[in-house]
Structure 1
Amino acid sequence: MKLLSLKNITLAAGMALISSACTSRFDNINKDPNSPTTISPQYLLTYGLEKSIDRYWGTSTRFERLNLDAAELWIQHLGRNIYSNEGDNYEASQALMLNNWQSFFNDSQLNFQRILTITAENGSQPHTNYYGVALVMRTWVFSLLTDTFGAIPYSEALKGGTDSPILTPKYDSQEEIYTQMLADLKTANEKLSVTGPAISGDIVYSGSILKWKKFANSLRLRLANRQAAKKPAASRAIMKEILADPTTYPIFTSNDDNATLKTTTSRPSNNEWNETMIWGSRTDWNLSKTLVDKLVSLNDPRLDVYGTQQGNVWQGVPNGLPDAIATTYLSTAAKIGTTFTKADAPEVVMTLAELNFILAEAAIDGDIDGGTATAKDYFEKGVNASMAQYGLTTPASYFTTVGTVTREKIMEQKWISLFANGVEAWVEWRRTGLPVFPAKDPRSVFANDGVLPTRLTYPGSEASLNGVNMKAGIALNGGADDFKTKLWWAEK
């Protein structure tokens, strides 16, 4: 379960770490048994997991929801029936950039980094499994940051509290960051030991180290595939290493392995979409016409899970409509399904379906030798896993309806399976340009010159506090600090 109350514990521990008694004479006098000067990694882990995955999935705070008010709209899973300027028309508030940047670095990364520091071999509480889990999560959050902004502080980040603090860290290129992230995931897999010491505070896998190893290696495949068009030899070597030795490098093999944050039916441990849409009574979103039309054309049973039909026919809201038109869809377009708005709905980070679509793409691109498995095999496993994730069985005629397996079909099915994981779907669309979306509704009005955003701009805090390095980061991105500069892994 999620434990928001850990915030005070973490902050208290942080203050304790940076403060000290005036003289050694008062050390014992000033000790308060109820105010610890150190904190167990289990509490840091719970807090870091909760804050990072909640932030990714869709914080309930308006103007800050990267997934709900940006990615899910831009990728046309959802559309707005009001306030189209809050993401649906390609606009975004400064709060979106600022608060996601600060939260991922401060609420997430500082806690994972603290775990790494205290559980390292030379740390105060050596523990290989806490270390491995924290390294996986730190890597995942860094991947979110670089895939959202481009170049970011990386090699010098998280060093503000060290003996030689760096308060204005340099920006590293995406290529450099990817190289190190892939190396860190390999290290994490090596550190994680199923026969090693147990961990507590794990609200993702309930302490299963084998599942953390599977996530580490599956995530490594995701990142290797993402950079494959830019660094094919390195990516192929990584994929071959993992797939050739499943004992050393286990990966997802069932939906039980999916990386998800466990939520509960009680606040504040409920799903963030439940907090926003049920407790917050926000009805701003319907399913996008693009998604609804595609699922209807495929007679796809996931439509009944993703949405709830209103009226006699399935209808979605076109993206980018002015409010005066968009509001007419509130009571006619499909609502978001209760599978995603119920209190204990899981907040999903990575699934078996996604992994199989990664392998299908790698196979069809020639980046892996699947042995007896072909791109078609991985493709069908991906669809079946996505269906099974929601208790569905793939209809007997489904693959006939889909047709010949191509790269375009793989990416289309990946997009369908990533419903609610808008941030991940947004990355994949920006990388490949797939799926190809239908023509925009002629009534829609888009900002950003009608260009679907390719990145977020750096927050204003960076310009004022780290301006010189931010300018160097903009140069590393190879374009202006706007919503139209393509990131390093973009294939077109």
Structure 2
Amino acid sequence: MKAIRLQAILLLSLSLVFAQSCTEDFEEINTDPNNPIAISPALLLPYAIQTSVDRYWGHSTRYERLNIDGAMCWIQHLSRNIYINVEGDSYEIPLTISTATWNNIYNESLVNFESVLRLSSPEGPFPNSNYTGVALTMKAFSFAFLTDVFGPIPYSQALKGTAAVPINSPEYDGMEVIYAGLLEELKIANEKLVVGGPSISGDILFKGDILRWKKFANSLRLRLANHQAAKKPAESRAIMREILADPATYPVFTGNNDFAQLLHVDVIGSRNKMFDVFSTRSDWNMSRTLIDKLVALKDDRIKVYAQPIDDGSYAGLPNGLTDAAAGDFNVSRIGTKFLSPTAPSILMTYSELLFIQAEAALDGDIMGDPVLLLEAAIKASFEQHGLAFPSDYMSRIGTVDKETIMTQKWLALFGQGVEAWTEYRRTGFPIMPPAHPNAVFSNDGILPTRIEYPTAEYSLNRDNLEEGLRKLGGDDNMRSPLWWKE
């Protein structure tokens, strides 16, 4: 009996020890190494970057392509020969473009960049200042994209849905507030990005080259300062001079080998989105406005931007024609460079940086000769496309003034329809020709000034949306001007 009792006590003791051991190690034992609690920034970064770039350059899903169906037609880089009344050329677009742009930038890009910021902070599981700098730069690019097409948007309270005190109905900030925040975030990004510092992975834009990220952050800061220069001249002037006076602290693009462009691979999902659209459809043509300007200047960029018609010449289609009227024209299609699956998607070029400086010099915001800076900008645009810059080109463009600079910038921004549209809305240049007699335009015949807010905002966030409209200073239509308009 004593032996039996002793054996029972021993078994009970072992069971208690084992139970205590299981309890102590429960969390470790039940953690699946293949499903980590904290996702690495390297896993979030590629998709977030890809989404921002695709939405800016040209998404491939029909009725969601703001750049291709909207901006590039409105700014008369391209024109349409069919579907003009539902896909942009007549100044009318489906609300799905607004919804898709809004939802994807907020939910697929900005949410992930915010997660990268949280994860890479000093208190996060993957502390790394270079991830922080990259996320801040792309966050600024993405918010700037949104506010430049919509106007006031949720910014300071956005992305707070999972905060300790969640905000599911964020307030709308005015563009002045948003620009101030983005300019400050880009300055912080430059400080956080440390060349020779910790390495990063998942960087599909610059392959982990931190100096190139610093150049992009500072060049983008110059873009935004220039956008707002007419409204906040003293602040913008100070920012531009700070950057350009200290290239060691604030490096910027220095050539066509280091500007911001996403290099694609020929794999479904990773191809250039213009290829996905233009290579399978023929209802886009070159705009007559663009072709006529290039022909008048004897500008060789026409050979890159467009394909010749049967007789070897180039011809453009007037914007806004009905399907029937457009069928009477023999016109050029977009150039073969843009029909390659591996063609780059461009966020900001070296030539754009020089155009910014040329305009700023003309306005007296920075020191420099606007004529020489303009010449350098145009030359960089030619060289970007593998073309020689003609020695007499400057004599072809006439007097250098604001219109000249902005018209040349419009030519150089081919493909970047959203930015060309922003510059037109901001400055009023280039001056567009009178509409063709057979053109039919919606929107009261006014080239769109913005796109409308998604319909879901009216049901999910109406009070804040209405305050946003007050800050816009106009109705929720495509005719209300935005804050930075000169």
The within-5 A match list for 1:384-463 is 384-463=379-458
Q: How many Å apart are 1:25 and its aligned residue?
A: 8.8
Taking the TM superposition and a 5 Å limit, the aligned residue runs for 1:340-355 are 340-355=338-353
| Partner of residue 360, structure 1 | 358
Superposed, which structure 2 residues align to 1:169-180 within 5 Å? 169-180=170-181
Q: Determine which of 371, 375, 385 is the counterpart of 1:376.
A: 371
Q: 1:153-181 deviations in whole A, cap 9, x for unaligned?
A: 00000010111110000000000001111
Partner of 1:11: none
Partner of 1:129: 130
Matches within 5 A, 1:109-188: 109-188=110-189
- CA contact under 8 A between 1:81 and 1:328: conserved in structure 2? no
Residue 449 of structure 1 deviates from its aligned partner by 0.4
After TM superposition, give the deviation of residue 30 of structure 1 in Å. 4.2
Mapped contact 2:183–2:225 kept (Cα < 8 A): yes
Q: Structure 1 CA distance, aligned partners of 2:174 and 2:207?
A: 35
- Paired residues of 1:75 and 1:426 also in contact (CA < 8 A): yes
Shift of 1:267: 2.2
Q: Does residue 233 of the first structure (1) align with residue 234 of the second (2)?
A: yes
Q: By how many angstroms is 1:202 displaced? A: 1.1
Shift of residue 28, structure 1, vs aligned partner: 4.5
For residues 152 and 385 of structure 1, what CA distance do their matches in structure 2 show? 35
Match of 1:294 in 2: 293
Amino acid at match of 1:424: E
Alpha carbons 2:450, 2:480 under 8 Å: kept: yes
Tell me if structure 2 keeps the 8 A contact 1:94–1:459.
yes
Alignment partner, residue 468 of structure 2: 473
Conservation of the 8 A alpha-carbon contact between 2:80 and 2:285: yes
1:35 is displaced (CA, Å) by 2.1
Alignment-derived partner of residue 81 in structure 1:
81
Instruction: Give the deviation of 1:200 after TM superposition.
Output: 1.3
Q: 1:369-428 CA deviation, whole Å, 9 max, x = no partner?
A: 12xxx0011101100100000111111221111122111110001000000000000000
- Alignment of 1:40 with 2:47, yes or no, is no
Equivalent position of 2:247 in the other structure = 246
Distance 1:210 1:480, change over 3 A: same
Per-residue deviation, residues 275-306 of structure 1 (Å, max 9, x unmatched): 1222xx11110110000000000000000000
Whether the aligned pair in 1 keeps the contact of 2:38 and 2:125 (CA below 8 Å) is: no
- In structure 2, distance between residues paired with 1:282 and 1:24: 63
The structural deviation recorded for 1:122 is: 1.9
Question: AA paired with 1:359?
Answer: Q
Amino acid at match of 1:266: V
Residue 256 (structure 1) shift: 1.0
Q: Superposed, which structure 2 residues align to 1:215-294 within 5 Å? A: 215-278=216-279, 281-294=280-293
What CA distance in whole angstroms lies between the structure 2 residues aligned with 1:173 and 1:137? 20
Matches within 5 A, 1:201-220: 201-220=202-221
1:68-101 residue CA offsets vs partner (Å, 9 max, x unmatched) = 0000000000000110011000001010111110
Q: Is the 8 A contact 1:318 1:441 kept in 2?
A: yes
Pairwise CA distance, 1:26:
6.2
Give the C-alpha shift of residue 268 in structure 1.
2.4
Separation of aligned partners in 2, 1:29 and 1:462: 45
Letter in 1 for 2:62: R
Q: Give, in angstroms, the shift of residue 248 of structure 1.
A: 0.3
Task: Output the TM-score relative to the length of structure 1.
Answer: 0.92
Q: Offset at 1:328?
A: 3.4
The DSSP-based 3-state class of the residue aligned with 1:90 is coil
Code of the residue aligned with 1:161 in structure 2: it is T
2:320 corresponds to: 320
Whole-Å separation in 1 of the counterparts to 2:102 and 2:327: 32
User: Percent of aligned positions with the same letter in both sequences?
Assistant: 53
Structure 1 position 32, deviation (Å): 2.6
Aligned to 2:11: none
Aligned length in residues: 462
Match of 2:308 in 1: 309
| 3-state SS of 1:299 partner | coil
- Hey, what's the Cα distance between the residues in 1 that align with 2:124 and 2:425? 40
Amino acid at match of 1:91: E
Deviation string, structure 1 residues 11-64 (Cα, Å, up to 9, x no partner): xxxxxxxxxxxx999644543332222211112111111111011111110010
Aligned residue runs from structure 1 range 39-58, under 5 A: 39-58=39-58
CA distance in structure 2 between the partners assigned to 1:327 and 1:184 by the alignment: 49
> Which position in structure 2 is the counterpart of 1:195?
196
- The amino acid of 1:107's aligned partner reads E
Contact 1:357–1:378 (CA under 8 A) maintained in structure 2: yes
Q: Secondary structure at the match of 1:46?
A: helix
> Take 2:192 and 2:88, find their aligned partners in 1: how far apart are those partners?
41
Greater Cα offset, 65-74 or 318-327 = 318-327
What secondary structure sits across from 1:348 in the alignment?
strand
Structure 1: 5+ residue stretches without partners = 1-22
* 1:419-467 Cα shifts (integer Å, max 9, x gaps): 0000000000000000001111010000000000000111001011000
Corresponding residue SS for 1:286: strand
- Could you list the runs of 5+ residues in structure 2 that have no partner in the other structure? 1-22
